[in-house]
Structure 1
Amino acid sequence: MQTSRSVMLVGTGMRPVVAAVATLFTRMDKMKRWLLVLLCALPMLGQAAGYTQTRYPIVLVHGLFGFDRLLGVDYFYGIPQALTRDGARVYVAQVSATESSELRGEQLLKQVQQVLAITGADKVNLIGHSHGGPTIRYVASVAPELVASATSVGGVNYGSEIADLVRANVAPGSVAEKLAVAAASALSGVISLLSGGSQLPQDPLAALDALTSSGAQRFNQRYPEGLPGQYCGDGPLQAANGVYYFSWSGRGNMTNILDPVDPALALTGTFFSEPNDGLVGVCSSHLGKVIGTGYRMNHLDEVNQSFGIHHLFETDPVTLYRQHANRLQGLGL
C-alpha cells in the first residue's frame, strides 16, 4: 500500500510537467503534419505555375456557325481563361461561320501570321473544334513552317452523316434548298454581326459540301497530313511535314438533362451508323495521335457548352484542354 501511495504522490506531483511535455509533443506533431502537407503541396504549386505554358502560342478555331465571342460569351466557354491563367498565350480566331474549309483556312492563315507578328513566335499550336478541324489542317498543310501542332476536337475529318443526310434529302436547286440556305445565311449573318465579324463572307452550301463524306474525301486527298492509314485508326504523332497532330472527341448525346441543347443532339445522334457526339462520328474525328474518344461528351460539351453544363461524372472539358497544353509543353511545343 505504501508503495502504491508513493507512486501516486509522485505522479500527482509530476502531472504539470507531464502535461507540458505532452502539449509540446502535440504541437510538434501538428508542426510535422503541417510540414508534411506543405512538402506535398509544393510539387502541385510548381505544376500550377506554368502548367499550361507552351513554347508557342495557342490559337483556338471555332466550327460551323461558330464565333470567337458572341454577346460576351466565348465559343470555347471558359477555356481561354483556364489556359492563360497558368501561363499559356491564347488567341481565338474568327473565321466565316459558314464557308468551305479552304476559304476558312485562308482566313485563319492570315490570323496566324498576325499572331506571330504580335508575339514574335516562330510557330503556333492550332486547336480546332468541329469544322475547325479541317480548317486548321489546311493551314498546317499549306504552311507547316508556321504550325507546331494541329489538334482536332470533335473534328469533321471524314465528313458527317448529318451533312450526308441533309444533302441526300434536299435536292440541289430545289425550293427546300433555297429556304434552307436563306435560313442558314440569316443565322450566320446574325452570328457574324453580333460577334463583330460581319465583313466575313458566308456560303452555307459551300460549308455543307465541305462537311459531307464526299466533300471531306476530296479535301483529304489534297491535304492528307495527319490522317490515319485506315478509317478509325491512329494517324502519325508527327507527320512528314514536321507538324504534330492530335485529336479527341466525345461519344455522348444526352449528357445532362439541364442542358437545353442536349435533346436536339440526342435526336441527331440517332441518324449515325457509329458512336457519335450528336453531330460527328467518333471514327470521323480521328486525326494524328488519338488522345481519347470515350468521353461522355456531346458536340457542344467538347467546347464546354452550354455554359459549362456537362456530364456530372465525366472529366471537365476544360481539364482536357489544360492537360493537352501541358502535353504540348512536354513535347517542347
Structure 2
Amino acid sequence: MKKLFILCLAAGFLAVAWAMPASAADTSCKTKYPIILAHGMGFISTEVYPNSFPGIVEALRARGATVYITNVESLGATREKAEQFKTGFLQIKATDGSAKFNIMGHSHGGLYTRDAITNLGLAPNVASLTTVDSPHRGSVLAGVMNLINNVAPMIGNLIAGFIPFPGDQSKLAINIQQLTPNYMNNTFNPNCPNAAGVYYQSWTGQYKVYNLFSTTAHFLIMLVQALTGTSSTPSTPQEYVAAFNKVLPDLATEIFFLGGGFNDGLVPVNSAKWGTFLGVQSGNWFTKGVNHIDVVNLSPNGAPFDVVGYWVKVVQNLKNKGY
C-alpha cells in the first residue's frame, strides 16, 4: 500500500511538471520592427572587433531582438557613407522582408543615417532613429582642426596624428570638415530635416573631470614625440582602441575649455541632443565619466556604467512605444 502511494505521488508530480509550461523565453527586446546598427567614424570590422557594439548585439538578441549590423567606410564624407548605408539597408530589407526598421547609430552613424533617411529615400521604411553621441550640431574640436588644416596643413596633419582614426587618411580632412559646427548648422541640418513619420531620439555620455594641467602636459609630450619621430603608430585593432581611449580625456578637456561644454571626448552634450533626448550617462560617482567609446562598450578597461543594460533599456522602451 505504501509503495502504491509513493508511485501515485510520483506520477502526480510528473503530471504536474508535464502540464507546466516551459520557462518562457525573454522577449523584452523583441521590437515590432527589426534593429539595424550603424557604426561611427574610424571603425573597421576585424576578426577581433567584427562590429562596434560588442556585447550589446548579443544581449539584445538574447532578449528577442532581431539585430542587423551595417558597415560603411571608416572615413569619408557623410553623403558617401549614407549611400553605402542605403545599399546595406536595402540588402537587409530584401532578406528580412519587414516593412520598417529601427535604426540605431553611434557617432557619425547617427548623421549618415539621418541623411539616408531624409535625402536618399529610406524614410518610408524607417520606424525610428536612435542616435548615440552623434554631433548633430558639430564639434568645436572638428572646427579647430579644420581651421588649422586650412591655415597650416602641416601642423594639422601633425595634430591629426594624435587622434588615431584607422582608414583612408586622404578622406580624414573631409570627414573633419563636415563635422564642424559651421557645416552642421549651416549646411547639413538645413538640408536634412527630420522625416515625417520617423521617431527620433538620442542619448549621450559625458566626462565629469576636465584637467587642463594634465592635458597640456600630455599634448607637449606627444608633440615632442611627433617632432622627434619617437611616437608609435597603432598597428592592431586593440592598439587603435587603446590609443583612442587614452587620448579622449585630453580631447574632452580641450573641448571643454574651448567653450564646448560637457562632452564625451569628441561630442558636446548639446550637440548630441536630437529628437526626444533620453539623457546623459556620466557613470558611477567615483569615475571620471563616460567617453565616446564607452557608450558602445569598446573601452578596453570596461565602461564605467552598465552600458549593455542601458542599451537593453533603450530598446525595451522602443518596444513599449510600439516600434
Q: TM-score, normalised by structure 1?
A: 0.70
Look up the match of 1:64.
41
- Aligned partner of 2:254 in structure 1 is 271
The structural deviation recorded for 1:136 is 1.4
C-alpha change, 1:136 and 1:308, in structure 2 (3 Å) is farther
- The verdict on how the C-alpha distance between 1:110 and 1:253 changes in structure 2, with shifts beyond 3 A counting, is farther
Task: Confirm or deny: 8 A CA contact 1:158 1:285 kept in the other structure.
Answer: yes
**Number of the residue aligned with 2:224:** none
* Equivalent position SS for 1:98: coil
1:215 corresponds to = 183
1:300 equivalent to 2:255? Answer no
Counterpart Cα distance in 1 of 2:160 and 2:47: 22
Displacement of 1:325 in angstroms is 1.3
Q: Residues 307, 57 of structure 1: CA spacing in aligned structure 2 closer, same or farther, 3 A cutoff?
A: farther
1:305 counterpart SS class: coil
Distance 1:253-1:299 versus aligned 2 partners, 3 A rule? farther
In structure 2, the CA distance between the partners of 1:206 and 1:189, relative to structure 1 (3 Å rule), is: closer
Give the gaps of 5 or more residues in structure 1.
1-41, 191-201, 226-239
Q: What is the aligned partner in structure 2 of residue 332 from structure 1?
A: 322
Q: Are the structure 2 counterparts of residues 283 and 184 from structure 1 closer, same or farther at C-alpha, using a change threshold of 3 Å?
A: closer
Q: Show the 5 A alignment for 1:1-333.
A: 49-142=26-119, 143-171=122-150, 174-177=153-156, 187-189=166-168, 203-217=171-185, 218-225=187-194, 241-252=196-207, 261-272=244-255, 273=259, 274-296=261-283, 297-307=290-300, 309-311=302-304, 314=305, 316-333=306-323
Deviations 1:247-285 (A, max 9, x none): 000112679xxx775441110011222000111000000
Question: CA deviation digits over 1:128-166, x for unaligned, max 9?
Answer: 111111111112213210111001100011111111121
Q: Distance in 1 between matches of 2:293 and 2:174?
A: 22
Kindly state the Cα deviation for residue 67 of structure 1 after the two structures are TM-superposed: 3.0
- Distance in 2 (CA, whole Å) between partners of 1:269 and 1:86 is 35
Distance (Å, rounded) in 1 between the aligned partners of 2:265 and 2:49? 26
User: Which has more radius of gyration?
Assistant: 1
CA, structure 1 residues 181+161, in 2 after alignment: closer, same or farther (shift >3 Å)?
Answer: closer
The number of equivalent residue pairs is 258
Task: Provide closer, same or farther for how the CA distance between residues 119 and 98 of structure 1 changes in structure 2, counting only shifts above 3 A.
Answer: same
Q: 1: CA distance between counterparts of 2:162 and 2:244?
A: 19
CA offset at residue 305 of structure 1?
A: 1.6
The one-letter amino acid of 1:327's match is N
Matched AA of 2:274: L
* Contact 2:36–2:104 (Cα < 8 Å) also in 1: yes
**Conserved in 2, the CA contact under 8 Å of 1:56 and 1:148?**
yes
Q: Name the amino acid aligned to 1:331.
A: K
The AA in structure 2 aligned to 1:266 is P
Do the aligned partners of 2:74 and 2:166 also contact (CA within 8 Å) in 1? no
Question: Percent identity between the aligned chains?
Answer: 29
Partner of residue 3, structure 2 = none
Supply the RMSD in Å over aligned alpha carbons: 2.8
Name the CA distance, whole Å, in 1 between partners of 2:152 and 2:99: 46
Give TM-score, length-normalised by structure 2: 0.72
CA distance in 2: counterparts of 1:124 and 1:307, whole angstroms: 31
Does structure 2 conserve the Cα–Cα contact (< 8 Å) formed by 1:53 and 1:87?
Answer: yes
Q: How far apart are residue 204 of structure 1 and its match?
A: 1.4
In structure 1, distance between residues paired with 2:49 and 2:181? 34
What CA deviation, in whole Å up to 9, does each residue of 1:186-239 have, x standing for no partner? Answer: 93049xxxxxxxxxxx721221111111121210010021xxxxxxxxxxxxxx
Following superposition, the deviation at residue 104 of structure 1 comes to 0.8
Matched letter for residue 63 of structure 2: D
| Structure 1 residues 75 and 294: CA distance shift in structure 2, 3 A | closer
Alpha-carbon separation, structure 2, partners of 1:172 and 1:279: 22
Looking at structure 1, the residues matched to 88 and 69 of structure 2 have their Cα atoms a distance apart, in angstroms, of 9
